[in-house]
Structure 1
Amino acid sequence: MATTTAPRTIRERIDDDAVALGVLDTTYSPTLVELFGDLGLDFVWIDLEHGGPSPDGPHLEHLLRAAERTGIDLLVRTPDARPATVRKCLDLGVRSLFLPRIESAHEVARAVRSARFRVDGVPGDRGLASPRASRWGTVDDYVAREDRETLIGTTVETRAAVDDLDAILDIPELGFVFVGPFDLSVSLGHPGELDHPDVRDAVETVVSKTLDAGVPLGGLGFGMDDVNAKADAGYRILNLGSTTGVLAGAVDDWVDAYDGERRTT
């Protein structure tokens, strides 16, 4: 478990036809981000949709510094898909982000354009300034580097996004599609019923169309057997679990193995 500062970005893993493995840090802790880098993971998922810091505050910078310290990538889910939010995260130094609650290809295309200086040979909508991502104007090849390294993906977690999936997959410079089965189950009218036929069919549609289009596919792993099966099936970004889930499982095992009395909850 030696520390390494060699970059392990999600884009690099995808370009190498490898699988990027990571965890969702539900504590938003720079210390844990740094630890996960030392443990050899490829990314830490920072979810700003359901909680966490604002991109306008300093906390996201602290998380980025921790990631940079041990060469791990932050996969940041933005709180919304507004271009201003996308630009803010990228200007802080985020390399990999993905969009929540998408309803149409238009939303995705607008966000992708806002993240790039050039898109498919035409001007993008990224603002040119001297933010942290440019090391405050000291990076000579800033424009080229940003367009080369930035990875913008989207979740598909609504009925509308599934219906517009073909158009979403045709968007130039789309980095990946991440399947969101839980929110998709809500959108389809079966909250939490991941085994419901409508939910299973929708997930299978997203998976098959994304793989057929050659767009990198991401998703949740439900145990390591499921992770390995999904990697074999073509997934390229896989979340192994959450910080709080790992801690709860470990503590439960310790307490269950204790022979003495324990308090009731």
Structure 2
Amino acid sequence: MNTASTPAKSLRERLLLQHQVQGAFLFLASPDVDEIMALAGFGALIVDREHASSDLSGALAELRAIRSVSDVPVLVRVCDASQAVIKPLLDAGFDGIVVADVRSATEARSIVEAAHYPPLGRRGAQFTVSRAASYGGQRDDYVEKARRETLVVAMIESREGVDAIGDIAGVDGIDMLFIGPLDLTSGYGRYGDLGSSELREAIVLAESRILASGCLLGGAAISANDLPSMFERGYAFVTAASDTGLLVQASKAAVRP
């Protein structure tokens, strides 16, 4: 899955060099579970803060747990593009932001403003004391490092989002558009029906628009078996598992009649 010969340290750099990465979501807000997932070999993990019942301190505890056992890149998913949500998470040291249900260029610009320092964004100069900059130890080069390594992802999860893909992708600082198929059913087919022909057609349309835009294409696989074909279609980043899903599957498999 690696078509580049030049090594790169950050997830963003590897993806821009056309590496293809398999990731997983972490919904359980459990540092212990996160450690197990970090040791499994995924190329990146996404700590969820859209649905998980945990605060900033909980997110930081998860990040520390993962970092204690692995160098796997860790993204965090948030529910909106507000600076109040995004900035503290990046200052804590997450490798990037995934913002749910982006529907317009206006929202995309808000994400970039919160995620990046001037002149691209409006992120405050907390690098003088922030954890991400080694509590100010990297103050001389952290801004450049953050611009180079912070991955900014907008999720496409609605009909409005699909229609606005060109506008969203055109916002400087948006690196990846990530297709979320379950929420996308709200605009295509019957809500929650991941097998509908309308949804499949919408995903194909979204894929083609994202690839044509020049942005990285990411998405959640409906089935883990879809992973190879998604990479063949040009996906840079695919999630095909979650801590919750794996626990449910393993629990059911462990029960003997």
| TM-score when normalising by structure 2 | 0.88
Identity %: 29
After superposition, residues 232-251 of structure 1 pair within 5 angstroms as 232-251=232-251
Farther off after superposition, 12-21 or 177-186: 12-21
What is the SS of the residue equivalent to 2:79?
coil
Deviations 1:43-91 (A, max 9, x none): 2221111123223xx1111111122221012221112221221112111
User: How far off its partner does 1:188 sit?
Assistant: 4.0
What is the SS of the residue equivalent to 1:235?
coil
Q: 1:137 to 1:147 in 2, by over 3 A?
A: same
Structure 1 unmatched ranges of 5 or more:
1-6, 259-265
Structure 2 unmatched ranges of 5 or more:
1-7
Distance of 2:53 and 2:238 partners within structure 1: 21
User: How far off its partner does 1:19 sit?
Assistant: 1.4
Q: 1:156, 1:177 within 8 Å by CA — same for their partners in 2?
A: yes
What residue in structure 2 maps to residue 263 of structure 1?
A: none
What is the SS of the residue equivalent to 1:153?
strand
What residue in structure 1 maps to residue 131 of structure 2?
A: 132
Structural RMSD (CA): 1.9
Deviations 1:99-147 (A, max 9, x none): 11222111111211221124xxx45201002221122211131111111
User: How far off its partner does 1:36 sit?
Assistant: 2.4
Deviations 1:136-171 (A, max 9, x none): 211131111111111111101112211211111111
Distance of 1:182 and 1:222 partners within structure 2: 8
Q: Which amino acid aligns with 2:49?
A: L
After superposition, residues 21-32 of structure 1 pair within 5 angstroms as 21-32=22-33
Query: Runs in 1 of length 4+ with deviation above 4 angstroms?
Result: none
How many residue pairs align between the two structures? 246
What is the SS of the residue equivalent to 1:186?
coil
What is the SS of the residue equivalent to 2:177?
strand
What residue in structure 2 maps to residue 3 of structure 1?
A: none
Q: 1:75 to 1:52 in 2, by over 3 A?
A: farther
Q: 1:43, 1:73 within 8 Å by CA — same for their partners in 2?
A: yes
Q: Which amino acid aligns with 1:128?
A: A
What residue in structure 2 maps to residue 37 of structure 1?
A: 38
Q: 1:102 to 1:226 in 2, by over 3 A?
A: same
What is the SS of the residue equivalent to 2:153?
strand
Distance of 1:110 and 1:48 partners within structure 2: 18
